[in-house]
Amino acid sequence: MIFVYNTISYSTINLNKFCNDHDLEACAIQLIILLNIYNILCIYRPTTGNFTTFLMHLEAILPQLHTNASNLIVCGDINVNYLQDSRNKSLLKSLLASFNLYSAVNFPTRISNISSTTIDNIFIDKNKNKDYSIIPISNGLSDHDAQIIQLHDVDIPTQQIKPSSK
CATH topology of domain 10-151: Deoxyribonuclease I; Chain A (3.60.10)
Global pTM reads: 0.86
Largest CA distance in the chain: 66
C-beta separation of 117 from 77 below 8 A:
no
- Span 58-71, pLDDT tens digits: 999 999 999 999 99
Q: What is the pLDDT of residue 34?
A: 83
Nearest to 37 by CA among 161, 128, 132: 128
Question: In the β-sheet with 120-124, what is the strand arrangement from edge to edge?
Answer: 10-13, 25-33, 36-44, 70-77, 120-124, 102-103
- Span 61-117, pLDDT tens digits: 999 999 999 999 999 999 999 999 999 999 999 999 999 999 998 877 776 778 788
Q: What is the pLDDT of residue 103?
A: 93
The answer to whether residue 162 scores a pLDDT higher than 60 is: no
In angstroms, rounded to a whole number, what is the distance separating the alpha carbons of residues 81 and 148? 18
Domain ranges of the chain: 10-151
One-letter amino acid at 74 equals: V
